[in-house]
Amino acid sequence: MDPVTDDPKVRADELRRLIHHHNHRYYVLDSPEITDHEYDRLMRELMELEERNPEIRTIDSPTRRVGGEPLKEFRPFLHRTPLLSMDNAMDRGEVDAFHERVCRWLQKDGITYCCEPKFDGLAVELVYEGGRFVRGGTRGDGSTGEDVTLNLGTVGSIPLALRGESVPDFLEVRGEVVMFRKEFHRLNKERLELGEQLFANPRNAAAGSLRQLDPKVTASRALVFFAYGVSDAAQLGMYSQYDTLSLLGELGFRVNPDRRRCRSVEEIWAFSRELQERRDALPYEIDGVVIKVDSIVDQETLGVKSRSPRWAVALKFPPVQATTVLRGIGLQVGRTGVVTPVALLEPVKVGGVTVSRATLHNVDEVLRKDLREGDTVIVQRAGDVIPEVVGPVRAARPEGALPFAMPDNCPVCGSTLSRESAQHRCVNISCPAVVRARIFHFASKEALDIEGLGRKIIHQLVERGLVRDVSDLYRLTRDDLMSLEGFAEISSSNLHAAIQASRTTTLERFIHALGIPQVGIVAARDLARRFRGLDALMHAGEDELTAIPRIGPEMARSIRTFFEAPENCQVIQRLKEHGLTLQGPSDQPIRQTALTGLSICFTGTLTSMARNDAKARAQAAGARVVDSVGRKLDILVAGADPGSKLDKARSLGVRILTEEEFLMLLKEA
């Protein structure tokens, strides 16, 4: 830690510098150097300093990240140079035609293009004066957008102060705000539970999150900004689009690593094909390739038409669609009792993946799309792994097909369903479907991670009355488990050991495991850091909760309601009686160890510690714990009675360690 001075201004400057640095490591480079906890500590110290000495606040202070006071309305944002749109090219012929036009205008061949993925997000402009972020706005109609400066300030990958030696006095950066798929699914899951309108896709979710009058709401959604250009590259002394992107990277922006200089339509086509293949594996959505003439001088020669430049074109990817038959509309009951209609489809291949089910979200969605049993439907994977039913092919509708109607009763327990806006909910807290879903969540990877406790087993446990709530899991004996279908001695004692081992966990995992509506793993982490103990959280008031940056009034209310329900407190009490032990967050900085960055998998029975402990220790030493053996696995730790994983690891040449060797490595670590 740097020496602490008494002068609040000096210390605040120092803290800002440190926080900017760590922010860049985390949000732009994806490579943090300190723990989240240490980061929070720096942030808290700065917040307190600024609160005590408001005069030392600066415009680029990272404390702006948490979002300020809500606005009444957005002010207009005038773009000094208009934000243009782009012509589309739908196929190879249209790319050829674009290339020919460019050659004709420039009266030369041998053009170099800078090709970049086309983000499916929301265009924004950021203005920097004296190296500091001062204003930012949406694209709007290209000349006037909305001033969303406060909201943009909460986006971690947007530098509040530019980095590097030669920072320009004035800079207008253009780019795209996107929401990663993972965050989109988390957000929609949360909204489903709350009965709120779902976002149709990550782009709408990004736009909805940025155009919020309350910056705290934006701060609670993980948005990412990618820079793809500047308003005046020549003024920056840049000769090419490619180098401009590199410069933006040096100034502290996140730029797309998947950009490529292409020297022919052939090369452009190859790039586009490669990207299409990798499209599903990218964490964000793209819908094409942007092809830009690389040379800035050539760009200027080509100039612009009315609304789009002559030097760029967007090659759009074809959507991945297929048609199939909707066999029926099933109903799924989730852990909060929400009943979701699900499309049961005649299995069909869409973009290389076989699809047989797709969520239909809620009854309004089904009615809006007018989906009926027996319909031929269009199924689409919009670059996403999660399939979507686009709509019916009306002409192929069988005669007499009836519109969908939601039943009045829960399909599992028969209780009357309650309706809150678009959401139907089974309010019977002992509904077997709800109990099963809650236990499944409790045991899931990001919660208590009880290996081997899958849906089928949970189904049997609940059906036989062996488990009514999560605390009953810890009462199960090996014999109880042996009595289940398909269970042998080894598997039942493994599962028994895994359940017992899960009693020791972190506060953050436990809070997540409770399944409080709206509280996902991120909020659970924030709560664990703030309260450091379960009792403090259980007694926290709504004000105390909303004082935490990413926790808004609705989530606070949901947390209060959860802990005010006597049955929830009773379950927690019983868990404590069964020996629940919660460990606090680790203060340890990230160290380099013999296991740092390696993937590790465990098989067989360990004798000196529970499997979960071994995993936790490997993780603490910087390893990534995985469940299956593959070519990329670095280490397999084989305990007693290992299974087929050991054979597979041998055949792939994966490094294999005994339990003792693993312990030795841990000691060295």
User: Measured between alpha carbons, how far is 584 from 507 in angstroms, rounded to an integer?
Assistant: 6
With tokens 């686009």, the residue in question is 390
User: Measured between alpha carbons, how far is 320 from 302 in angstroms, rounded to an integer?
Assistant: 34
Choosing from 118, 216, 292, 615, the catalytic residue is 118
> Is the Cβ of residue 291 or residue 646 nearer to ligand IVH in the bound state?
291
In angstroms, what is the minimal distance from the CB of 209 to ligand IVH?
A: 16
Q: Which residue is nearest to ligand IVH (CB)?
A: 123
Only segment of 70-78, 106-114, 117-125, 157-165 that touches ligand IVH (CB under 6 A) = 117-125
> Is the Cβ of residue 216 or residue 292 nearer to ligand IVH in the bound state?
292
Q: Pattern of binders to ligand IVH over 251-270, x per CB under 6 A?
A: --------------------
In angstroms, what is the minimal distance from the CB of 85 to ligand IVH?
A: 4
Helix%, strand%, coil% for the chain, nearest 5: 40, 20, 40
Q: Segment 336-355, which members bind ligand IVH (CB under 6 A)?
A: none
> Is the Cβ of residue 250 or residue 258 nearer to ligand IVH in the bound state?
258
Q: Which tokens in the block code for residue 52? A: 């005590």
User: Measured between alpha carbons, how far is 414 from 408 in angstroms, rounded to an integer?
Assistant: 9
> Is the Cβ of residue 86 or residue 413 nearer to ligand IVH in the bound state?
86
Strands 504-506 and 581-583: parallel
Q: Is 102 in the site for ligand IVH (CB under 6 A)?
A: no
In angstroms, what is the minimal distance from the CB of 350 to ligand IVH?
A: 24
Among positions 38, 60, 116, 190, the unique one binding ligand IVH when judged by CB under 6 A? 116
User: Measured between alpha carbons, how far is 543 from 399 in angstroms, rounded to an integer?
Assistant: 58
With tokens 């998947």, the residue in question is 258
> Is the Cβ of residue 126 or residue 462 nearer to ligand IVH in the bound state?
126
Only segment of 54-62, 78-86, 417-425, 523-531 that touches ligand IVH (CB under 6 A) = 78-86
> Is the Cβ of residue 314 or residue 637 nearer to ligand IVH in the bound state?
314
What 3-state class would DSSP assign to 444? Answer: coil
Q: Segment 144-183, which members bind ligand IVH (CB under 6 A)?
A: 176
Only segment of 80-88, 104-112, 206-214, 521-529 that touches ligand IVH (CB under 6 A) = 80-88
Q: Is 314 in the site for ligand IVH (CB under 6 A)?
A: yes
Q: Is 378 in the site for ligand IVH (CB under 6 A)?
A: no
Q: Is 317 in the site for ligand IVH (CB under 6 A)?
A: no
> Is the Cβ of residue 62 or residue 136 nearer to ligand IVH in the bound state?
136
444-453 core/surface letters (b: 16 or more CB in 10 A; e: else): beebbbbbbb
In angstroms, what is the minimal distance from the CB of 116 to ligand IVH?
A: 4
In angstroms, what is the minimal distance from the CB of 454 to ligand IVH?
A: 41
- Residue 548 CB neighbours (<10 A): 18
Q: Is 123 in the site for ligand IVH (CB under 6 A)?
A: yes
Only segment of 28-36, 81-89, 205-213, 577-585 that touches ligand IVH (CB under 6 A) = 81-89
Active site residue 369: no
Please name the residue ranges forming H helices in 179-259: 181-194, 202-210, 215-219, 241-250
> Is the Cβ of residue 290 or residue 453 nearer to ligand IVH in the bound state?
290
What 3-state class would DSSP assign to 666? Answer: helix
Q: How far apart are the first and last CA of the chain?
A: 23
Burial of 62 (0-12, 13-18, 19+ CB in 10 A): buried
Task: Give, in degrees to the nearest 5, the angle at Cα 60 between 218 and 44.
Answer: 70
> Is the Cβ of residue 176 or residue 183 nearer to ligand IVH in the bound state?
176
In angstroms, what is the minimal distance from the CB of 229 to ligand IVH?
A: 5
In angstroms, what is the minimal distance from the CB of 125 to ligand IVH?
A: 10
Q: Is 118 in the site for ligand IVH (CB under 6 A)?
A: yes
Among positions 309, 319, 584, 585, the unique one binding ligand IVH when judged by CB under 6 A? 309
Closest CA to 244 of 223, 155, 308, 256: 256
Q: Is 282 in the site for ligand IVH (CB under 6 A)?
A: no
What 3-state class would DSSP assign to 417? Answer: strand
With tokens 């879903």, the residue in question is 437
Beta strands in 90-143 (DSSP E): 113-119, 122-129, 132-138
In angstroms, what is the minimal distance from the CB of 121 to ligand IVH?
A: 7
Q: Is 279 in the site for ligand IVH (CB under 6 A)?
A: no
User: Measured between alpha carbons, how far is 379 from 572 in angstroms, rounded to an integer?
Assistant: 43
- Residue 543 CB neighbours (<10 A): 9
DSSP state, residue 145: E
Among positions 74, 98, 119, 284, the unique one binding ligand IVH when judged by CB under 6 A? 119
Q: Is 249 in the site for ligand IVH (CB under 6 A)?
A: no
Phi and psi dihedrals of 267, rounded to 5?
-65, -35
In angstroms, what is the minimal distance from the CB of 312 to ligand IVH?
A: 5
Q: Is 67 in the site for ligand IVH (CB under 6 A)?
A: no
Q: Answer yes or no: are the C-beta atoms of 377 and 343 closer than 8 Å.
A: yes
In angstroms, what is the minimal distance from the CB of 123 to ligand IVH?
A: 3
In angstroms, what is the minimal distance from the CB of 527 to ligand IVH?
A: 36
Among positions 230, 290, 371, 507, the unique one binding ligand IVH when judged by CB under 6 A? 290
Please name the residue ranges forming H helices in 289-337: 296-302
Among positions 86, 344, 538, 620, the unique one binding ligand IVH when judged by CB under 6 A? 86
Distance of alpha carbon 50 from the chain centroid: 31
Which residues does residue 605 pair with via DSSP β-bridges, in sequence order? 640
User: Measured between alpha carbons, how far is 136 from 658 in angstroms, rounded to an integer?
Assistant: 56
Q: Is 434 in the site for ligand IVH (CB under 6 A)?
A: no
- Sign of torsion over alpha carbons 402, 406, 411, 415: negative
Number of residues that bind ligand IVH (CB under 6 A): 14
Only segment of 82-90, 266-274, 457-465, 625-633 that touches ligand IVH (CB under 6 A) = 82-90
User: Measured between alpha carbons, how far is 538 from 571 in angstroms, rounded to an integer?
Assistant: 13
User: Measured between alpha carbons, how far is 228 from 450 in angstroms, rounded to an integer?
Assistant: 43
Q: Is 126 in the site for ligand IVH (CB under 6 A)?
A: no
In angstroms, what is the minimal distance from the CB of 284 to ligand IVH?
A: 11
Q: Answer yes or no: are the C-beta atoms of 103 and 254 closer than 8 Å.
A: no
Among positions 113, 228, 253, 531, the unique one binding ligand IVH when judged by CB under 6 A? 228
Q: Is 143 in the site for ligand IVH (CB under 6 A)?
A: no
Q: Is 271 in the site for ligand IVH (CB under 6 A)?
A: no
> Is the Cβ of residue 307 or residue 357 nearer to ligand IVH in the bound state?
307
Q: Give the CA diameter of the chain.
A: 83
Rg of the Cα atoms in the chain: 28
Only segment of 5-13, 43-51, 84-92, 504-512 that touches ligand IVH (CB under 6 A) = 84-92
User: Measured between alpha carbons, how far is 306 from 649 in angstroms, rounded to an integer?
Assistant: 61
User: Measured between alpha carbons, how far is 290 from 86 in angstroms, rounded to an integer?
Assistant: 9
Where does this chain bind ligand IVH (CB under 6 A)?
A: 84-86, 116, 118-119, 123, 176, 228-229, 290, 309, 312, 314
List, by residue number, the catalytic residues.
118
